[in-house]
Amino acid sequence: MALWLWCLLFVLESLYCWWIIGYGGARWIEGWKSFFMIEWFALDWTAEQIRLYVLIIWCFSLIWFIIGIIKPELRL
């Protein structure tokens, strides 16, 4: 995968996470919408649980992004 595409995908994911964590996106997708926007197991989660899940996933994505910049063959 090209570096520009790798960076673009990470920026788009970061904007999505930023919206959920900081701008009320978790409250908006709480309930049945979380099935489509997060995962099937998030149906019963509160907004705070969704925010925590997205924060943890974003931290792992950040680590994977940095690894992908250093070792291009690991970009998926």
Asked if the model's pLDDT at residue 7 lies above 80, the reply is yes
**Angstrom distance (rounded) from CA 75 to CA 2:** 9
Asked if the model's pLDDT at residue 75 lies above 80, the reply is yes
- Binned at pLDDT 50, 70 and 90, residue 3 comes out as very high
Question: Residue ranges per domain, the chain?
Answer: 9-74
Which residues, in sequence order, are CB contacts of 48 under 8 Å at separation 6+? 26
Better pLDDT: 48 or 11: 11
Instruction: Compute the Cα dihedral for 39, 41, 20, 22 and give only its sign.
Output: negative
Which residues, in sequence order, are CB contacts of 32 under 8 Å at separation 6+? 43
Residue-wise pLDDT for 16-65, tens only, equals 999 999 998 888 888 777 777 777 777 788 889 889 999 999 999 999 99
